[in-house]
């Protein structure tokens, strides 16, 4: 048994499920007040709004509501409405509904009813042709797509990590609007002889549109995010500080080298260390397996005596030349 109505009860169940799931998800986040959580709230609000529209605010359709053929005479429709509402047969109908039944006395108007829906036929009092109804209904449809574009822009704002998806989302929205406008304008209206099982173009396009509005923000918000761009100023400041600390050390290196050469003990220890490094390096460079592995990795170590020099050897020679030149020294020949 429905508490309020079947549609409202269904929406309340769906909304409660979504809100509780979102609250549990946000509760597990390390920080609550973040941009990502705010955008998640926007997507949830849009989801609830679209679900409410689809479940509760379904467009009226007297033929589907009363389950009568599309070619039912207006007087029979009037009698069915009064019977459905449990009112006496002579009860006057509301003025908009009475005006709608008057218009539906025309067969051409019933085809427009299928194309544009009951609300447009009922609300546009000055409309008489298909073009009039088209001009009346397209701005309403366009407004819905504009709202969806605003939602898509909100969830792809700067800092969201999904800025690159904004153009795609807006293009998809614009394409959907063009496609719906095309179908509303050119869709063929097929009316069976018995007037039953008519494909209601307006109602079905309305449902597809709102399902699109429901799914698109969720899809865009679920797409992978781009890593935020780092501000180069802190990195440049750190590099400058490191260079300032390194420059005096490089300047002092030439004096340390000269001091080592003047002290016999230090000179002998340095010569011994460099000789040991030279021997160990020769062992590694002469090993055939090491050479092949270095070549496969693009780190060739051959000196280029019997062939082209390896990439790592060339880069090392270039780097050492720059260091020795900055110290005012000459790189010894290998």
pLDDT of residue 334: 56
pLDDT of residue 323: 74
pLDDT of residue 230: 66
pLDDT at 3 over 60: no
Taking alpha carbons only, the member of 149, 160, 147 closest to residue 221 is: 160
- CA distance readout (Å), 207 to 67, 116, 212: 19, 13, 9
- 173 with 239: CB under 8 angstroms? no
Query: Predicted confidence band at 53 (pLDDT cuts at 50, 70, 90)?
Result: very high
3-state DSSP helix/strand/coil percent for the chain, to nearest 5?
70, 0, 30
319-330 average pLDDT score: 72
pLDDT in tens, 183-205: 999 999 888 888 888 899 999 99
pLDDT in tens, 72-100: 898 999 999 888 888 888 888 888 888 88
User: Which of 166-175, 219-228, 229-238, 261-270 is least confident?
Assistant: 229-238
CA separation for the pair 145, 213 (Å, rounded): 8
- 205 with 180: CB under 8 angstroms? yes
Higher pLDDT, 24 or 322: 24
- CA distance readout (Å), 136 to 159, 189, 304: 39, 20, 81
pLDDT at 46 over 80: yes
Query: Predicted confidence band at 266 (pLDDT cuts at 50, 70, 90)?
Result: confident
pLDDT at 238 over 60: yes
Higher pLDDT, 306 or 265: 265
pLDDT at 108 over 70: yes
CA separation for the pair 14, 52 (Å, rounded): 9
Of all residues in the chain, the percent with pLDDT exceeding 70 is 90
pLDDT of residue 178: 96
| Structural Rg of the chain based on CA atoms | 39
- CA distance readout (Å), 61 to 118, 162, 207: 6, 40, 13
Assigned token pair, 169: 């989302």
CA separation for the pair 115, 201 (Å, rounded): 5
pLDDT of residue 43: 94
Of all residues in the chain, the percent with pLDDT exceeding 90 is 38
pLDDT at 310 over 80: no
Query: Predicted confidence band at 27 (pLDDT cuts at 50, 70, 90)?
Result: confident
Q: What are phi and psi of 258, to 5 degrees?
A: -65, -40
Higher pLDDT, 193 or 253: 193
| Cα angle: 138, vertex 140, 142; to 5 degrees | 65
Sign of CA dihedral 141, 221, 47, 65: positive
Burial tier of 187 (Cβ tally within 10 Å: 0-12, 13-18, 19+)? middle
Higher pLDDT, 155 or 6: 155
Taking alpha carbons only, the member of 189, 52, 180, 58 closest to residue 118 is: 58
Share the mean pLDDT of the chain. Answer: 85
pLDDT at 327 over 70: no
CA separation for the pair 236, 240 (Å, rounded): 6
3-state secondary structure (DSSP) of residue 52:
helix
Where do the DSSP E strands lie in 145-228? none
Query: Predicted confidence band at 302 (pLDDT cuts at 50, 70, 90)?
Result: low
> Distance from first CA to last CA of the chain, Å, rounded?
94
Q: Which residue has the tokens 């300047």?
A: 251
Single pTM value for the model: 0.68
pLDDT of residue 1: 43
What are the DSSP calls for 254-273, one per residue?
A: HHHHHHHHHSHHHHHHHHHH
pLDDT in tens, 124-152: 888 989 999 999 999 999 999 999 999 99
């Amino acid at each position: 048994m429905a508490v309020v109505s079947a549609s409202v009860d269904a929406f309340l169940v769906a909304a409660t499920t979504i809100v509780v799931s979102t609250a549990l998800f946000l509760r597990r986040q390390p920080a609550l007040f973040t941009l990502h959580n705010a955008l998640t709230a926007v997507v949830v609000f849009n989801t609830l709004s679209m679900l409410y529209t689809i479940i509760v605010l379904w467009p009226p359709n007297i033929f589907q509501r009363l389950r009568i053929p599309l070619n039912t005479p207006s007087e029979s429709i009037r009698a069915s409405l009064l019977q459905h509402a449990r009112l006496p047969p002579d009860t006057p109908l509301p003025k908009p509904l009475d005006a709608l039944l008057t218009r539906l006395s025309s067969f051409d108007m019933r085809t427009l009813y299928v194309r544009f829906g009951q609300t447009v036929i009922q609300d546009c009092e000055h409309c008489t042709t298909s073009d009039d109804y088209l001009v009346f209904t397209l701005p309403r449809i366009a407004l819905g797509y504009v709202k969806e574009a605003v939602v898509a822009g909100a969830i792809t704002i700067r800092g969201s990590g999904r800025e690159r998806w904004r153009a795609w989302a807006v293009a998809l929205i614009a394409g959907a609007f063009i496609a719906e406008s095309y179908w509303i304008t050119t869709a063929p209206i097929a009316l069976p002889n018995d007037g039953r099982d008519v494909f209601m173009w307006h109602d079905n396009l309305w449902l597809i549109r709102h399902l699109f509005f429901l799914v698109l923000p969720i899809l865009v918000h679920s797409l992978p995010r781009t890593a935020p761009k780092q501000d180069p100023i802190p990195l440049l400041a750190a590099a400058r500080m490191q260079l300032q600390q390194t420059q005096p050390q490089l300047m002092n290196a030439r004096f340390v080298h000269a001091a080592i050469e003047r002290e016999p003990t230090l000179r002998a220890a340095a010569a011994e260390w460099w000789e040991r490094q030279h021997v160990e390096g020769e062992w590694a460079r002469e090993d055939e397996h090491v050479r092949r592995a270095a070549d496969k990795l693009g780190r060739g170590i051959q000196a280029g005596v019997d062939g082209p020099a390896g990439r790592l050897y060339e880069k090392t020679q270039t780097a050492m030349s720059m260091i020795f030149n900055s110290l005012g020294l000459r790189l010894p020949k290998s």
